[in-house]
Amino acid sequence: MTKKFYAKVDEATCKGCGICVHICETKGGKNLKNGLKRTLLGGTLPEGADKCTGCRWCERYCPDFAIKVEEVTPVA
């Protein structure tokens, strides 16, 4: 079975700098986009599109450790 992943953004610590969105695109991912919601600091909250490959580049590059990539556990 193919593994599925989900990039979870902590809305309380994400400042909305867009680095994760940029790095996701740069590394060939098609998951993170700029969302419609604003962060507490007035940045743009990133949004996942259910196309996360689990490469974890976004997690490595986030300066605030505000994004975590988790494996989705299939519902039995």
The nearer residue to ligand SF4, 5 or 74, going by C-beta atoms, is: 5
Minimum CB separation from ligand SF4 for residue 19, in Å? 4
Q: Distance between CA atoms of 75 and 9, rounded to whole angstroms? A: 22
The nearer residue to ligand SF4, 73 or 76, going by C-beta atoms, is: 73
The nearer residue to ligand SF4, 1 or 12, going by C-beta atoms, is: 12
The site for ligand SF4 (CB under 6 A) is made up of: 5, 7, 9, 14-20, 23-24, 27, 29, 31-32, 46, 52-58, 62, 64, 66-67, 69
Per the structure block, which two tokens stand in for 69?
């990539």
Per the structure block, which two tokens stand in for 48?
């996942």
Q: Distance between CA atoms of 73 and 76, rounded to whole angstroms? A: 9
